[in-house]
Amino acid sequence: MQSSQTIEFTLDWQHPYDALGTAFYTGVQPTPLSNVHWVARNHALAEQLGWPVHKWDSEKLLSALSGNSVLPGSQPFASVYSGHQFGVWAGQLGDGRALSLGLLDTAIGPQEFQLKGAGLTPYSRMGDGRAVLRSSIREFLCSEAMHGLGIPTTRALCLTGSPDRVLREELETAAVVTRVAPSFLRFGHLQHFAANGDTASLQLLVDHFIAKHFPHLLSVEAGPKRYTAMLARVTRLTAEMLAQWQAVGFCHGVMNTDNMSLLGLTIDYGPFQFLDGFDPAHVCNHSDHQGRYAYARQPQVAYWNLFCLGQAMLPLIEDQDMAVAALESFKTDYPMLTDQAFAAKLGLAGSQSGDHELIESQLKILAAEKTDFTIFWRRLSHATALLATQAPAQAFEKVRDLFMQHEGWDNWLPAYERRLQGQDLLKTSSQMLQTNPKYVLRNHLGEQAIQQAKIGDFSGVADLLRVLQTPFDEHPDFHHLAGFPPDWASSISISCSS
């Protein structure tokens, strides 16, 4: 048998911006780390990419995906972008600690591979180009959790660690996440060239993006009409992503325009949080003193960010009214998509007048006591099946138990029951169980896995990866990962520092 150490990984790397030129990127070599080791490997993604799993054992791959060597044919680079941070123009940013290895044709289409934390780039500004184990575990797990929930996201292939010290609020150790996406282009990439008045580069980049990622738009007349159609498409994808975030209780935490993907992918996992109790005003990022990125404000912020994108594309769209019209679709699409998402969570078949009010009144009841968001929906999903054979009071008993004040719930339930009349309740329940996850990456779960990993035990990360990749399944052995958060969960402080 061939030793895994000798297996060559032959990959046909392409450079996504080769045709565009060096205005878009700078070639840069990763900076090695000492004594690198695997922390986690995502076999499911490797299989989807069409990479035989046994190649994971290769020392060469460990070295390359830690940034200690460069795979043959890869020409690593960092790209430049700008953006608004917390509503204020921040000027030039860029891949300060993300290095692209290039683009590969895979079984799930062309994918770009990036190392996050592989050292300084020309865009590192005051940073050190590194990522710490703590935040890298969070990014690795949350990327796959979002994918498991069916929410568009960049993916995470693996995570490597090193004992090398990295200074944050305290001394931590270095890690590198290999992340994968069809493109890592952000709103900020376009803002960069627009802010510099470089319309020629802006157009090159946008034409490239359309050709590679929205080829269906090539049938639209070239010029302003096509650029408007692209803006409308990004607006739609962003509305879809936001509706899904809200429906699962996901707070991103740093929705700066440089953290918004042109493909509508969730990107740049930092101080994110899945809500424990339902609190629309919840702010997960302790650096966000104004609450700009509170859960309930995310849709508005997305629209604000899209508006910045529209402004950046104005030199190409030429007509302000056309740009505004493309953006306006967010105002109808987002509420419609959100209502659809919450109607599915409630198991409502079809669409009826009064559904929106039913959803809104339910969310008010949850907000009143900050009821646990994930557990509420999961219990409701199970209760709906019981309603097929039991009286409502019995069927929904465990849901009712979630409230201290029962009045709101008791008043709401009859309207819900009436709305479900005529539906196959067993089928409805099983659909709800595929919509309302049992497992989400709550802060305290990530924190426990991080504390274990810090002392060299990566089993907690592996367990979480397993359940989060299929979060609608029961996984009876991991039931303890689906419980209420412990009291100490609310004291976990997550800032931008990563």
Active-site residues, by number, are: 258
Site membership for ligand AMP, residue 97 (CB under 6 A): yes
Contact of 95 with 68, CB cutoff 8 Å? no
- Compute φ and ψ for 476, nearest 5 degrees: -55, -30
Q: Does 288 bind ligand AMP (CB under 6 A)?
A: no
Place of tokens 């004291």: 491
Of 65, 233, 243, nearest to 152 by C-alpha is: 243
Amino acid at 238: T
Among 124, 203, 340, 448, the residue binding ligand AMP under the rule CB under 6 A is 124
| Tokens, residue 440 | 């989400």
List 270, 299, 347, 446, residue binding ligand AMP (CB under 6 A): 270
Instruction: Indicate whether 254 belongs to the interface with ligand AMP (CB under 6 A).
Output: yes
Extended strands (E) in 189-303: 250-251, 273-274
Does 129 help bind ligand AMP (rule: CB under 6 A)? yes
**249 in Cβ contact with 439 (< 8 Å):** no
List binders of ligand AMP among 478-497 (CB under 6 A): 496
Q: For residue 233, state whether it binds ligand AMP (rule: CB under 6 A).
A: no
Among 57, 105, 128, 164, binds ligand AMP (CB under 6 A): 128
Query: Minimum Å distance from CB 270 to ligand AMP?
Result: 5
Report if residue 127 touches ligand AMP, rule: CB under 6 A. yes
Is residue 88 packed enough to be buried (19+ CB in 10 Å), middle (13-18) or exposed (0-12)? exposed
d(CA 92, CA 72): 31
Q: Which is nearer to Mg ion, 268 or 279 (CB)?
A: 268
Question: Which segment (191-199, 267-275, 382-390, 434-442) binds Mg ion by CB under 5 A?
Answer: 267-275
Shortest spacing between CB 452 and ligand AMP, in angstroms: 24
Q: Does 58 bind ligand AMP (CB under 6 A)?
A: no
Of 235 and 259, the one with the shorter C-beta distance to Mg ion is 259
Task: Give the relative orientation of helices 224-248 and 320-346 as an angle to the nearest 10 degrees.
Answer: 30
The smaller minimum CB distance to ligand AMP, of residues 102 and 271, is found at 271
Choose the one of ligand AMP, Mg ion, none that binds residue 315, judging by a C-beta under 5 to 8 angstroms depending on kind: none
Please name the residues in contact with 324: beta carbons below 8 A apart, sequence gap of 6 or more.
310
Query: Is 179 a residue that touches ligand AMP (CB under 6 A)?
Result: no
Q: Is there binding between residue 259 and Mg ion (CB under 5 A)?
A: yes
Contact region with ligand AMP (CB under 6 A), list: 27-35, 106-114, 125-133, 303-311? 125-133
Quote the least distance from Cβ 95 to Mg ion, whole Å: 9
Nearest residue (CB) to Mg ion, 268 versus 339: 268
- Site for ligand AMP contains 463 (CB under 6 A): no
Site for ligand AMP in 332-371 (CB under 6 A): none
- In order of 46, 162, 383, the CA distances from 461 in angstroms are 17, 16, 31
With 0-12 CB in 10 A as exposed, 13-18 as middle and 19+ as buried, what is 311? middle
Which of 95, 268, 333, 339 lies at the binding interface for Mg ion (CB under 5 A)?
Answer: 268
Query: Nearest distance from residue 116's CB to ligand AMP, in Å?
Result: 9
CA–CA distance from 66 to each of 51, 168, 242, 461 (Å)?
Answer: 18, 20, 32, 18
- Lookup result for tokens 């989400």: 440
Complex with Mg ion: residue 56 or 123, whichever CB lies closer = 123
Which among Mg ion, ligand AMP, none contacts residue 87 (Cβ within 5 to 8 A by kind)? none
Residue 239 CA to residue 299 CA, distance in Å, equals 8
**Which pair of structure tokens corresponds to residue 212?**
């590679």
| Residue 96 interacts with, from Mg ion, ligand AMP, none (CB under 5-8 Å by kind) | ligand AMP
Distance, CA of 259 to CA of 184 (rounded, Å): 10
Q: DSSP label at 153?
A: B
Which tokens sit at 59?
A: 């020392």
Neighbours of 69 (CB within 10 A): 17
Query: What are the Cα distances from residue 30, in Å, to 120, 249, 439?
Result: 8, 36, 36
**CB 98, min distance to ligand AMP, A:** 6
Residue 224 burial (CB < 10 Å; 0-12/13-18/19+)?
A: middle
The DSSP bridge partners found for residue 159 are 40, 177
- The reply on whether position 91 binds ligand AMP by CB under 6 A is no
152 binds, among Mg ion, ligand AMP, none (CB under 5 to 8 A by kind): none
127 contact, one of Mg ion, ligand AMP, none, CB 5-8 Å limit per kind: ligand AMP
Which spans of this chain sit near Mg ion (rule: CB under 5 A)? Answer: 259, 268
Which spans of this chain sit near ligand AMP (rule: CB under 6 A)? Answer: 93-97, 123-124, 127-130, 254, 258-259, 268, 270, 496
